[in-house]
Amino acid sequence: MIKLQVRSLTLDWIDGSTIAVDRLCGKSFSELRVIQIETSDGMRTLADLFSITITEFRNEFASSAQTKSGDETLLLVGDCTPFRRLGANHSRGTLVIQGNVGDRFGERQEGGRLVVLGDAGDEAFVGKNEGESIVFGNCGDRFGAPLAGEKSGIRGGDCLVYGNVGDRACERLRRGTIVFGGDAGEALGAQCIAGTIVVFGGVGEAWGMGMRRGTLIFLSDPSSEPGCSLSVPKYFELSFLPLVWKHLRALQASVMAFCESVESQRLKEINFPTSRWVSRQLGDMSIDGQAEVLCLRRITQMSADNFAVESH
């Protein structure tokens, strides 16, 4: 594992795209020191920006496969807010940011795992294709949005955001499972094409605007106005929902186990539900969309012919 401790910096911005697992892991200390990084004040070396440490991955409970993956772990410690495009094109191993990170984190992620133990800036995971993405803090605007000139945003993989997310998150989502443990801003899931978005908190105005397919799941009825025309709600028992919750709990457990090996503080967890009962609406009806909006329900009484429900 390579640990990079951020030095005291006064730079306006730093191009973080070079600071990647596939470019750094496996190199010697002397090779790492002289790697060139573009900054607002010209080119700097990795040693100018960080204190560099190479350590063995130590976890007495880890399997040989986990130990090997630990050799492809890059840990950045400190305030990484000036760094732009950290985790760009990440494809293997694990990149952990123990602090906040700047804009466009995880741009075009292709695989592997990206973890932020703080907040992420605007346009996190734009153009993401695959892999696991976890942010324990908040994210800015345009989370997972399409890159300029592209027709779709996130195309696959899993994202867990434990805090809040800004406006226009998951615009043109095409595939993948996205979870927001806090609140989401305006225009969530605009022009959604496919994929699943789960929101544990509140949501801003105009959510679901122009969505054609995909699934929005709310733990309670949104108090804000949607940006789409929805069908009359109907109540269903959906057998696939427990599989979604099981998958997300397994992902969270795996992330927590890994973080404990590189981070000592206790990290917050999402308490995923078990419910399979929902109210279901289709939209955007104005464009013949077949996306679904699901709001979880609890069963209060049941008979052979009907049942009564309440908000989860």
Cis check for the bond before 284: say yes or no (omega within 30 of 0).
yes
Q: Compute the mean pLDDT over every residue in the chain, rounded to the nearest whole number.
A: 90
- For residue 57, the model assigns a pLDDT of 58
- For residue 50, the model assigns a pLDDT of 98
Query: What are the tens digits of pLDDT across the range 87-145?
Result: 999 999 999 999 999 999 999 999 999 999 999 999 999 999 999 999 999 999 999 99
**pLDDT of 301 above 70:** no
pTM here is 0.91
Is residue 74 packed enough to be buried (19+ CB in 10 Å), middle (13-18) or exposed (0-12)? buried
Query: What are the tens digits of pLDDT across the range 151-196?
Result: 999 999 999 999 999 999 999 999 999 999 999 999 999 999 999 9
Task: List the structure tokens of 175.
Answer: 């595939």
Confidence of residue 58 (pLDDT cuts 50, 70, 90): low
**pLDDT of 308 above 80:** no
Whole-angstrom distance, CA of residue 209 vs CA of residue 167: 12
- For residue 300, the model assigns a pLDDT of 44
Confidence of residue 268 (pLDDT cuts 50, 70, 90): confident
Q: CB–CB of 161/190 below 8 Å? A: no
* Domains in the chain: boundaries: 75-311
Q: Look at 117 and 301; give whichever has higher pLDDT.
A: 117
Mean pLDDT of 17-38: 96
Q: CB–CB of 21/1 below 8 Å? A: no
Q: Does domain 75-311 have CATH number 3.40.50?
A: no
Counting residues of the chain whose pLDDT is more than 70, the rounded percentage is 89
Whole-angstrom distance, CA of residue 309 vs CA of residue 289: 26
**pLDDT of 240 above 60:** yes
- For residue 73, the model assigns a pLDDT of 94
What is the identity of the amino acid at 252?
A: Q
**pLDDT of 209 above 50:** yes
Mean pLDDT of 295-307: 55
Confidence of residue 304 (pLDDT cuts 50, 70, 90): very low
Q: How many residues does the chain have?
A: 312
Whole-angstrom distance, CA of residue 137 vs CA of residue 20: 22
Residue with tokens 């952990």: 96
- For residue 307, the model assigns a pLDDT of 43
- For residue 63, the model assigns a pLDDT of 46
Confidence of residue 61 (pLDDT cuts 50, 70, 90): very low
